[in-house]
Every structure is written in structure tokens, then in C-alpha cells.
């Protein structure tokens, strides 16, 4: 009987199973010699059946391996599993898993073995081991806290950094979701829960959330948590969720600082214009819902610019800080105090049932500003003007409310400052008028709507015309004749004063050249310059070009400025004035006596002419103080080699008194109102042909 018949005596089924098995099957004698091998084993080893039956198991073992497992198997009746490195016919090796046991056939002992190539399985296991080692290493050295959440058991693993970044010792609290949530800020739990559920349900593409986490010292740190599912079951249900926690506290501090800078004034720490207007809109919306009122107070500090110009910006800044603190002290906790910019502030009083509820706050506010400010041991008195507009009585939205409160503030300024004014419909009409002027002013010069008029200047000694002042006039088809006191300020604000000023200068100088040629070569022309023109870098070039084009002498031109030009004290102002006087052009100080410190200007800047404001001339014959002031001004001017011009002379008594006091020149309706070019030409023609002097 063959071995095969002995092993499988009952059926051909056993033979088929052995032949078709994917595992190698062998039978060896006690010396290791093979007496049976199946096809799978031949394929695994690369040898033929005949070759293997002439070999033993020690021939196919890779060198330098212990042979003891086989020796042990001889006496072991139960399965013994060993891993052994085998060598194929081509010399390659592989790790095999061999299951051996001793069997008895016809009284003889043999070793029955099954052999399986486990190289791929070992490689996979090694990869998993390496990955696990790498994960452990990453968790040890990572600066971020790393967590691994097993969803099926609801258990969490944290690395050491997860604890230490918040000041805890490792394993200071149990590694569970519940314990973790106890340390999350209460306001952030719902946000985190929503993000986790949304991600795990596949509704969001990523889990990325920011929240506050309690440190050991009971302060909160900002955490950014990120994670992803790394393991799911066969149905796609998440089983393992792994991620990181990063400390972003410093980043958050920077963001909050930037956000604060974007919404709060850096000097006073009050809400800035952006945040103030946003709160105003919210207050109006809330008032609309609750059927309440909002009072908006628009404040401007009186004469604050003079403080900056005379005492410096350091003092001005400290004054703004102190003013802001006083404003904080007069409002309720629910009110908003904001700084719009410069010396402009607003106060938002919300939740009012009656307009009268704002009155005590306004009165208290004004009283606070009537108290002396003490800055660097210097006592200063700084008042404020307040405009008040009520929502919804005076406006339908926040923007309109702000405009109307601004208009009311300007009305308070006109009323003498250091007071308040409620918005009225008349103010709205004034604002609309100003807007209409601004709209019509655009393109008016190109439409030839402007003209230059001339008011004669009289030599008070001989009553002859010695020159004229050029005055800009505007007639608009929509607005009619617009007075200069209405449109000049708008032109200043919009920048239109630059081309308008150039227009007046060129027209006046060109006409002066004609009058000098036809009537009197000593005729002089005075032209006003605005503060905005002084900031025009082309001013000197325009003046030079105008003089060159007309060939009049520079001494025939007189440029008049007010102290508004000089208030900035900029170096550029002095340079421009020096450039003008170096050209031989006369400089005149206009509206003398109405400013802040005109005497210092006369000492500092190169003036040739001083013009006494009409407000002093009006009452000089009845008010001894005005007369004494005019007398002093004339005497002082002559001592400084300045000529003096009196404006607004309307009576013979004023004329005679001024001439007695030694005033050089005069203007006013007593002599002539401003005239058109043709009327002025006619006047000059008459006085020239008749050698005419005004008979007064």
C-alpha cells in the first residue's frame, strides 16, 4: 500500500482537497526527509515534486536559523505553530507560518505540516506597528494637543501636550468627552457640538472650530480644534475621530487689538466714527421697534484749533482726552459717547419716552465744560456747542439724524457758542440751500456764471480814487444771485476756490492793465486770497504768469489775506508770503481786529497794508472805545510803516474822523458800492476827465 493510500484510504475527495489547497502540505520522516508534498507547496518553493521528495526540510530553510522547532515537533502530538524563513529555488526568501504535528501511520511516526507564505501579512503588520510608533512619537513631540476619539466606546485619548498647554499635569483629568466639556467655556459648547455633529453627519466638509478652554489657573485660553474621521465601519459609520488642538490665544489677542483699533479712537478710547454710526443705526432700529425716541447730541469744542496752534498738539490731545472723560461722566450707562474725528463728538441717548428727558443731560454736559481744564499746570477754559436732533421726529434714518444734529450744532455756534440748539426745519432749509449751492457750483465757472466787480478805494487825504478791490460775484440761473458769504465757504470746502481765485486774479490784473493804460498808471488793484489757495503749490507760478501776461508792475497788485491763512503756522505759509513780497507785491491783513492774535502776525509776517474791519467803523462816531482802538491801530500801523485802509465807511462823519486820525485809505458805500467792469470804467473816465474828487 502506497503512502497516499495509507493517508487517504477512504475517498478520492481527500486527494482532491490536498491537491487544490492553497496552503502547502507536507509529510516528512523523523530525519526531515519529505515523503509527500502537495502542488501548492511545490509552487510556493519553486521546485518540482520529484525534486522536493529527494530533499528534506532543512534544505529549504534559509541559512543561519535554529533547527530546534522540528526536533520539538517529533514528540508533540498537538499543533505547533512556528514562523520560519524559507528559501525558494531561485534563492529568494520569505517568511512562512508552519503548523506541525507528529502523526502515526502503520506504527511509524511522521511529521505532518501545513506551510503558508505570510510575507504580506507581516509587511502589513509592520506597517501598522510603524504607523503606531510614528503616531506615538508625533503625540509626544507635537506642540499641539492631540486627541483620538473612539466613537463606538466614547473614549478619548490625549497626548501629554494636550494637558500641559493649559497648565495641567498629564492625566490631570480623566480622558473623556464629558470631562473635556466641563472645561470648555459655557458660551462655546453649543457651537462646538453643532460643528461636530455637522461634520460627522457629512453636512460639512471639515471640522474646524475655535473655542475657549479653561486653564489650570482658572483663566481661559483660545483653542483652534481641527480633526477628521480616520476609521469607519463597512457601512461608512465613523468609528475613530482624530485631531489637534492649537493654542491661538496670542493670535486672538492680536485680532482683538486690530478689531479694537478699527472700532475705537486710539486717543480717547471712545467708539470711533465707524462704530458710533453703527450704534446709532442700532439705536434707531430699536427705537422704531419699541416706539421710543433717540436723541443725538452733536458736539464741537469751541475754538479748539487755537489751542492746538498756540499751545501745541500735545496739550490739544490731553484736552481731548479730558473732554472725553467729562462726556463719559454725564451720560447713562446705556448711552454711547463717540468721537467722530478732530474735536467733534456725538452722544447717543436711546430709549427716551419724551424729548424732555434729554434736557438734564444736555444741561449737565454744558456745565461740565464750563469748569476749568488743568493741563500741565495751565488753566484753560474750553466750552462746547451742542446740536440736538431727535429720531424719528427730525429724521427717518441714522444718516439724516446725524446731518440734522450737525446743522443744529452750527446753529449753536451762530448763537454765540457754549450753548445748545435743537434742530428745526429752518436749519434743514439752510442745509438744503448749502447742498444746492454745492451742486450748482460744480461747472459754474465753465458756464461763465461768475463775474468780477470792483469797489473803489479812496485816498482819504484828497478823496481821489487810488485803486479798487476785486470782488467775485455769482449769478446762477437756478439760484439767482448768490452772496459771497454763502458760496465762498462752500468753494473753500470743495476746493473750487482754487480755480475761482485764479479767475479773479487774472480778470482783475488784466482789467487793471487796461485802466492803467487809459486813465492812471498808478492805479492799484487788491485781490483776496483764501486759506485754501495758500496750500496750492501753483499759486506763485500763477501770480508770476499773470503779471507777465499783462505787463503791470508788481507794485500795482495787493493781495489780501485774513488770519485764517496764518492760523496753521506752517512753514509753507511763511515761504509763500516771502515769495510774494520778494516779487514786489503788497500784502494786506484783512479784517483786522476780529481775529485771535493779529498783533503777533503783524510782527512776524511781512505786511504792507492793514485793513480795519467795518465792525469798528460802524460805531466809531458814537463809541469812544472804538474810536480809541482805531486811533491806536492807525498809530501802530504807521509806526510799522504800514498803510491803513478803513472798510465800510458809510457816513461823512466817519470819513472826516478817519481822515483826522490819519487813516490813509477808505472803502464804503459813502463813496461807491461794488461796480461792474463797465460802471467802474465809466467812473474812472469821469473822474479822470474832470480831475474829479468826491465832494463830501
What CATH number did the domain enclosing 363 receive?
3.30.70.270
DSSP state of 187: G
C-alpha cell at 494: 470743495
Is residue 87 domain-resident?
yes
Residue predicted with more confidence, 136 or 540: 540
386 shares its domain with 475: no
496 shares its domain with 567: yes
Contact 103, 110 (CB under 8 A): yes
Q: How far apart are the C-alpha atoms of 533 and 546, rounded to whole Å?
A: 15
C-alpha cell at 231: 476609521
DSSP state of 556: G
Confidence band, pLDDT 50/70/90 cuts, at residue 143:
low
Is residue 429 domain-resident?
no
- Of 388, 423, 458, which residue constitutes the final position of a domain? 423
Is residue 259 domain-resident?
no
Domain that holds residue 101: 3-117
pLDDT digits (tens, 9 = 90+) for 148-198: 888 888 888 888 888 888 888 888 888 888 888 888 999 999 988 898 888
Confidence band, pLDDT 50/70/90 cuts, at residue 132:
low
DSSP state of 209: E
Lowest pLDDT segment from 167-171, 173-177, 384-388, 611-615: 173-177
Domain count across the chain = 4
Q: What is the pLDDT of residue 688?
A: 58
Confidence band, pLDDT 50/70/90 cuts, at residue 569:
low
147 shares its domain with 235: yes
Crossing angle (nearest 10°) for helices 677-689 and 497-518: 20
Q: How far apart are the C-alpha atoms of 571 and 574, rounded to whole Å?
A: 5
β 155-158/207-214 pair status = unpaired
Residue 175 sits in a domain whose CATH number is 3.30.450.20
Q: Which residue bears the cell 487544490?
A: 20
Q: Is 263 helix (H, G, I), strand (E, B) or coil?
A: helix
Is residue 212 domain-resident?
yes
DSSP state of 396: S
584 shares its domain with 445: yes
Contact 61, 86 (CB under 8 A): yes
Lowest pLDDT segment from 51-65, 126-140, 482-496, 681-695: 126-140
631 shares its domain with 679: yes
182 shares its domain with 296: no
- Of 224, 253, 282, which residue constitutes the final position of a domain? 253
The answer, as to whether pTM is greater than 0.85, is no
Confidence band, pLDDT 50/70/90 cuts, at residue 692:
very low
302 shares its domain with 450: no
Q: How far apart are the C-alpha atoms of 640 and 633, rounded to whole Å?
A: 11
- Res 696 pLDDT > 70: no
Is residue 187 domain-resident?
yes
Lowest pLDDT segment from 25-29, 214-218, 686-690: 686-690
206 shares its domain with 247: yes
Q: What is the pLDDT of residue 606?
A: 85
- Of 253, 281, 315, which residue constitutes the final position of a domain? 253
DSSP H helices in 8-118: 12-20, 39-45, 49-53, 68-73
312 shares its domain with 246: no
Is residue 270 domain-resident?
yes
Cα of first residue to Cα of last residue in the chain, in angstroms, is 166
For the chain, how many helices (H) and strands (E)? 27, 26
Amino acid at each position: 500500500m502506497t503512502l497516499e493510500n495509507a493517508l487517504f484510504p477512504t475517498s478520492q475527495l481527500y486527494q482532491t482537497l490536498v491537491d487544490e489547497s492553497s496552503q502547502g502540505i507536507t509529510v516528512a520522516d523523523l530525519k526531515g526527509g519529505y515523503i509527500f508534498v502537495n502542488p501548492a507547496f511545490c509552487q510556493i518553493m519553486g521546485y518540482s515534486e520529484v525534486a522536493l521528495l529527494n530533499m528534506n526540510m532543512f534544505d529549504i530553510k534559509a541559512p543561519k536559523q535554529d533547527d530546534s522547532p522540528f526536533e520539538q515537533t517529533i514528540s508533540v502530538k498537538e499543533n505547533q505553530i512556528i514562523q520560519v524563513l524559507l528559501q525558494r529555488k531561485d534563492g529568494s526568501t520569505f517568511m512562512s507560518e508552519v503548523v506541525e504535528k507528529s502523526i502515526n501511520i502503520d506504527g511509524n511516526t511522521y511529521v505532518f505540516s501545513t506551510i503558508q507564505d505570510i510575507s504580506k501579512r507581516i509587511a502589513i503588520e509592520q506597517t501598522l506597528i510603524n504607523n503606531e510608533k510614528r503616531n506615538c512619537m508625533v503625540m509626544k513631540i507635537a506642540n499641539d494637543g492631540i486627541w483620538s476619539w473612539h466613537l463606538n466606546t466614547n473614549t478619548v485619548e490625549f497626548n501629554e501636550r494636550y494637558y500641559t498647554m493649559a497648565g495641567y499635569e498629564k492625566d490631570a483629568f480623566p480622558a473623556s468627552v464629558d470631562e473635556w466639556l466641563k472645561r470648555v467655556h459655557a458660551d462655546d459648547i453649543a457651537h462646538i457640538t453643532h460643528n461636530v455633529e455637522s461634520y460627522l453627519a457629512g453636512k460639512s466638509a471639515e471640522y474646524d472650530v475655535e473655542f475657549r478652554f479653561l486653564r489650570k489657573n482658572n483663566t481661559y485660553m483660545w483653542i483652534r480644534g481641527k480633526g477628521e474621521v480616520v476609521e469607519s465601519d463597512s457601512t461608512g459609520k465613523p468609528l475613530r475621530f482624530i485631531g489637534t488642538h492649537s493654542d491661538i490665544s496670542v493670535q486672538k489677542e492680536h485680532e482683538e487689538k486690530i478689531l479694537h483699533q478699527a472700532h475705537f479712537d486710539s486717543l480717547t478710547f471712545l467708539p470711533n466714527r465707524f462704530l458710533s454710526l453703527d450704534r446709532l443705526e442700532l439705536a434707531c432700529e430699536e427705537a422704531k421697534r419699541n416706539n421710543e425716541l433717540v436723541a443725538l447730541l452733536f458736539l464741537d469744542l469751541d475754538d479748539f484749533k487755537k489751542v492746538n496752534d498756540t499751545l501745541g498738539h500735545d496739550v490739544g490731545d490731553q484736552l481731548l482726552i479730558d473732554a472725553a472723560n467729562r462726556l463719559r461722566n454725564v451720560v447713562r450707562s446705556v448711552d454711547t459717547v463717540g468721537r467722530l474725528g478732530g474735536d467733534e463728538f456725538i452722544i447717543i441717548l436711546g430709549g427716551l419716552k419724551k424729548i424732555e428727558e434729554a434736557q438734564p443731560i444736555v444741561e449737565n454736559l454744558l456745565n461740565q465744560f464750563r469748569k476749568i481744564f488743568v493741563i500741565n499746570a495751565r488753566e484753560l477754559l474750553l466750552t462746547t456747542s451742542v446740536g440736538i436732533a431727535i429720531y424719528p421726529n427730525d429724521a427717518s434714518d441714522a444718516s439724516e439724524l446725524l446731518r440734522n444734529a450737525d446743522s443744529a450744532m452750527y446753529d449753536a455756534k451762530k448763537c454765540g457758542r457754549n450753548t445748545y440748539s435743537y434742530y428745526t426745519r429752518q436749519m434743514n432749509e439752510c442745509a438744503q440751500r448749502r447742498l444746492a449751492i454745492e451742486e450748482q457750483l460744480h461747472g459754474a465757472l465753465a458756464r461763465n456764471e461768475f463775474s468780477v466787480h470792483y469797489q473803489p478805494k479812496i485816498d482819504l487825504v484828497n478823496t481821489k480814487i487810488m485803486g479798487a478791490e476785486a470782488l467775485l460775484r455769482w449769478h446762477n440761473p437756478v439760484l439767482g444771485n448768490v452772496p459771497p458769504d454763502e458760496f465762498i465757504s462752500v468753494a473753500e470746502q470743495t476746493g473750487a476756490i482754487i480755480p475761482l481765485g485764479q479767475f479773479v486774479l487774472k480778470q482783475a490784473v488784466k482789467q487793471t492793465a487796461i485802466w492803467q493804460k487809459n486813465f492812471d498808471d498808478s492805479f492799484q488793484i487788491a485781490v483776496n486770497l483764501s486759506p485754501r489757495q495758500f496750500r496750492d503749490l501753483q499759486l506763485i507760478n500763477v501770480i508770476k504768469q499773470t503779471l507777465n501776461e499783462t505787463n503791470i508792475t508788481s507794485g500795482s497788485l495787493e493781495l489780501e489775506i485774513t488770519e485764517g491763512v496764518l492760523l496753521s503756522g506752517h512753514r509753507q505759509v511763511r515761504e509763500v508770503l516771502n515769495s510774494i513780497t520778494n516779487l514786489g507785491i503788497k500784502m494786506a491783513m484783512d479784517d483786522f481786529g476780529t481775529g485771535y492774535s493779529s498783533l503777533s502776525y503783524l510782527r512776524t509776517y511781512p505786511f504792507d497794508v492793514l485793513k480795519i474791519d467795518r465792525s469798528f467803523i460802524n460805531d466809531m462816531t458814537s463809541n469812544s472805545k472804538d474810536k480809541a482802538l482805531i486811533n491806536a491801530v492807525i498809530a501802530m500801523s504807521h509806526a510799522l510803516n504800514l498803510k491803513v485802509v478803513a472798510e465800510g465807511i458809510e457816513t461823512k462823519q466817519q470819513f472826516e474822523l478817519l481822515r483826522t486820525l490819519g487813516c490813509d485809505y477808505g472803502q464804503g458805500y459813502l463813496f461807491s458800492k461794488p461796480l461792474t467792469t463797465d460802471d467802474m470804467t465809466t467812473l474812472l473816465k469821469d473822474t479822470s476827465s474832470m480831475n474829479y474828487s468826491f465832494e463830501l
